[in-house]
Amino acid sequence: MSESPRRREPIPVTVITGFLGAGKTTLLNRLLEAPEMRDAAVIINEFGEIGLDHLFVSAADDGIVELSSGCLCCTIRGDLVTTLEGFLRRLDNGRLDTLSRLVIETTGLADPAPVLQTIMAHPYLVMRYRLDGVVTLVDAVNGSSTLDEHPEAVKQAAVADRIVLTKTDLPKGAARAPALVARLHALNPAAPVLVAADGAAVPAVLLGAGLWNAATKTADVREWLAAEAYEAGAGHDHHGHGHGHHDHGHEHDHAHPAHDVNRHDDRIRAFSLSTDRAVGAGTLEMFLDLLRSAHGPKLLRVKGIVKLSEDPDRPVVLHGVQDVFHPPVRLAAWPDEDRRTRLVFITRDLPEGFVRRMFDAFASTPATDTPDAAALIDNPLAITGFSGRA
Ligand SMILES: Nc1nc2c(ncn2[C@@H]2O[C@H](COP(=O)(O)OP(=O)(O)OP(=O)(O)O)[C@@H](O)[C@H]2O)c(=O)[nH]1
């Protein structure tokens, strides 16, 4: 089935990540058998010693690309762009009939952010590909100690759209799973935790995590944003603001009695902000610019739907990974009756209160001790805690 070379739908991209040995290749092998993966391509940044040869065989002829040197996230990032462009070229010149989907498996140590940014920040790739979701695998046997020891693993779990828990079929995994699930939920309240051994990690759930529902061709904002999950939080909602995870200290010990304070986890915050008020497009841009330029690396993931005062009936969808934001997408209408601006943040080393104060100032929500938006713009250093470029 070949597509028309014009008016192609953007190709959904799923990024599979997870710590070393978490089960990425095993899952990928299973996924490749699914009908949803027909005409899909897989990019693996390195071939492990374990038998990937049959992957080669079971996938479409030239669907698998090995990026051979080092880590996809850093050393060969240029190659990822080249590979993604190469697929488009082959599609456009008819050497490749169809590319229904792309799955990128990162190495265990990789930070998924640069992979997401490669697509979001590229003026052409962002038109032809769309990020569908980040799937993070966590091994139930070693997951907890991996999270304790490796901040990258915490980050992988925090930015996931879906978390897959592997190795619960092993006795140790089964025993450790409940505490681990609680911890993952605290880190990332919006991502469903799917237990691989239960057969829950199926393509229908793993793929299709993005904003666009391919079947209905509409924006599935509610599910994508999952703002309610942040509002419900992980049981730490003391201020009624929707905290996924905040205060240091005692509460954590209940969930993770076997651990010391989970320092890496404590650096992560997941929270949502919302307002009924419309904001001006310029104000929104300034808010994001300010946040991004001063704190970009701390914004692990930002998603949102925003009511603009210029055109309140057509909301804008935002999606950012660190300092890189997808070009805002304007929806033709609000997807449902909830017409509030809603933003969800997953941050590292950036307190919720700071973002909230800044947001409130820009949204002109009355708040004590907060300069108004004009004052912030005139003098960004006026914001308490702001550590911008001098
Ligand atoms: N018992 C059990 N073993 C699993 C499961 N998932 C993966 N494994 C095993 O764990 C080992 C590592 O799995 P891989 O799929 O290679 O993990 P990976 O994340 O691709 O590993 P790296 O490429 O090294 O990062 C293999 O021996 C798998 O057979 C699971 O759910 N249960």
Task: Convert the pLDDT of each residue in 115-131 to its tens digit.
Answer: 888 888 888 898 899 88
Q: Quick: pLDDT tens for 340-367.
A: 999 999 999 998 899 998 888 887 754 4
Which ligand 1 atom sits closest to the C-alpha of 48? 23
CA of 166 to the centre of ligand 1 (A): 8
The pLDDT of residue 4 is above 60: no
Asked which of 109-113, 160-164, 281-285 is least confident by mean pLDDT, the reply is 109-113
The pLDDT of residue 189 is above 80: yes
Q: Distance between CA atoms of 223 and 209, rounded to whole angstroms?
A: 8
Assign 214 a pLDDT band (cuts: 50, 70, 90). low
Of 11 and 201, the one with more pLDDT: 11
Which ligand 1 atom sits closest to the C-alpha of 166? 31
Asked which of 5-14, 39-48, 206-215 is least confident by mean pLDDT, the reply is 39-48
Work out the average pLDDT over 235-264. Answer: 42
Q: Does ligand 1 lie within 6 Å of residue 167's CB atom?
A: yes
- Backbone CA torsion sign across 165, 18, 106, 265: positive
DSSP bridge pairs for 11:
129
The pLDDT of residue 380 is above 70: no
Assign 135 a pLDDT band (cuts: 50, 70, 90). very high
Which ligand 1 atom sits closest to the C-alpha of 108? 25
Assign 213 a pLDDT band (cuts: 50, 70, 90). low
Q: Quick one: pLDDT at residue 77? A: 44
Of 263 and 194, the one with more pLDDT: 194
The pLDDT of residue 60 is above 50: no
Q: Quick one: pLDDT at residue 337? A: 87
Percentage of the chain beyond pLDDT 90 is 21
Q: Quick one: pLDDT at residue 1? A: 44
**CATH code 3.30.1220.10 for 268-378:** yes
Q: Quick one: pLDDT at residue 372? A: 54
Q: Quick one: pLDDT at residue 184? A: 94
151-177 exposure pattern, b = at least 16 Cβ within 10 A, e = fewer: bbbbbbbbbbbbbbbbbbeeeebeebb
The label of the residue with tokens 């966590």 reads 138
The pLDDT of residue 226 is above 60: yes
CA of 154 to the centre of ligand 1 (A): 19
CA distances from 327 to 2, 101, 124, 140, 190 (A): 29, 21, 12, 37, 23
Q: Distance between CA atoms of 10 and 106, rounded to whole angstroms?
A: 21
Q: Whose CA is nearest to atom 8 of ligand 1?
A: 23
Q: Whose CA is nearest to atom 6 of ligand 1?
A: 23
The pLDDT of residue 85 is above 50: yes
Q: Does ligand 1 lie within 6 Å of residue 18's CB atom?
A: yes
Work out the average pLDDT over 261-268. Answer: 73
Q: Does ligand 1 lie within 6 Å of residue 166's CB atom?
A: yes
Work out the average pLDDT over 260-286. Answer: 82
The pLDDT of residue 282 is above 60: yes
The pLDDT of residue 275 is above 60: yes
Nearest alpha-carbon partner for 299 in 274, 330, 268: 268
Q: Does ligand 1 lie within 6 Å of residue 49's CB atom?
A: no
Q: Quick one: pLDDT at residue 143? A: 93
pTM as predicted = 0.77
| pLDDT, averaged across the chain | 75
Of 255 and 307, the one with more pLDDT: 307
CA of 139 to the centre of ligand 1 (A): 8
Residue 132 has, within 13 A of its CA and on its CB side, a CA count of 25
Asked which of 184-193, 250-259, 304-313 is least confident by mean pLDDT, the reply is 250-259
CA of 25 to the centre of ligand 1 (A): 7
Q: Does ligand 1 lie within 6 Å of residue 50's CB atom?
A: yes
What single string gives the DSSP state of each residue in 13-79?
A: EEEEEESTTSSHHHHHHHHHTSGGGTTEEEEES---SS--HHHHHHS-TT-EEE--SS-TTTTTHHH
Work out the average pLDDT over 208-215. Answer: 68
Assign 262 a pLDDT band (cuts: 50, 70, 90). low
Q: Does ligand 1 lie within 6 Å of residue 109's CB atom?
A: no
Q: Where are the chain's structural domains?
A: 11-210, 268-378
Q: Does ligand 1 lie within 6 Å of residue 25's CB atom?
A: yes
Which ligand 1 atom sits closest to the C-alpha of 107? 25
CA of 141 to the centre of ligand 1 (A): 11
Kindly state the tokens that stand for 292: 């991004």
Distance of CA 68 to the CA centre of its chain: 25
Work out the average pLDDT over 188-210. Answer: 83
Which ligand 1 atom sits closest to the C-alpha of 18? 19
Instruction: Report the interhelical angle of 113-121 vs 77-92 (nearest 10°).
Output: 50
- Domain 11-210 adopts which CATH fold? Rossmann fold (3.40.50)
Work out the average pLDDT over 196-221. Answer: 74
Q: Whose CA is nearest to atom 7 of ligand 1?
A: 23
CA of 50 to the centre of ligand 1 (A): 10
Q: Quick: pLDDT tens for 288-335.
A: 888 988 888 899 989 989 999 889 999 998 888 888 888 888 888 888
Q: Does ligand 1 lie within 6 Å of residue 196's CB atom?
A: yes
CA of 79 to the centre of ligand 1 (A): 26
